[in-house]
Homo-oligomer: A and B are copies of this chain.
Amino acid sequence: MKKISSYKPWVETLKAFGVRLTLPRKTVLQVLADNREGLTPEEVCRLGRASHPGLGLVTVYRALELFEKLGMIRRVHSGGHCQSYSASFGDTHFVVCTRCGRVTEFPCCGLLPLFAHVRARTGYEVTGHILEITGLCPDCVKSGEN
């Protein structure tokens, strides 16, 4: 009664990218399909060993990295383990330049309708949020592309 779904929908994605469907990868995918919560590599490995005892932690790291790159899984940030900080004043969010790393703040606003929408759709009572925008800062936009 814990099996929420199978990893089958992902198989096509893997084939499309020419990635081999191995036992360790199947195992990791099944773990992620069964457990709808943020899981660390360690946890995925422990859970995965129930069905594939030989599963190696290193392989789990590699599989997670691959699946994220292919857009099959996504990182969960709410756990509060990101060790990267920047000054902040007031109720704002960050825009982060993907080229030079510069961080700029902008006021948090206009999200209330979204929260209402999420509440109506998922039944969750919304209490907080993480919002971060990435892009190119004015300087990096000027100085060439990319």
Contacts and interface: CB of A to CB of B under 8 A. Distances in A.
Interface of A: 9, 32-33, 36-41, 44, 64, 67-68, 71-89, 94-98, 100-104, 106, 109-111, 113-115, 117-119, 121-138, 141
Given A125-B141, A133-B118, A103 B85 contact: no
A17 B103 CA distance: 27
Given A37-B102, A76-B96, A106-B122, A32 B137 contact: no
A128 B127 CA distance: 24
B103 A127 contact: no
Nearest to A28: B85
A39 B86 contact: yes
B127 A86 contact: no
A84 B75 contact: yes
A57 to B, nearest CB: 12
Contact of A124 (B44, B77, B125, B135): B135
Contact of A84 (B71, B81, B97, B115): B81
Nearest to A114: B110
Given A39-B85, A73-B88, 9 more contacts: A36-B103, A37-B100, A38-B96, A75-B85, A79-B82, A95-B122, A106-B117, A124-B137, A129-B132
Nearest to A80: B75
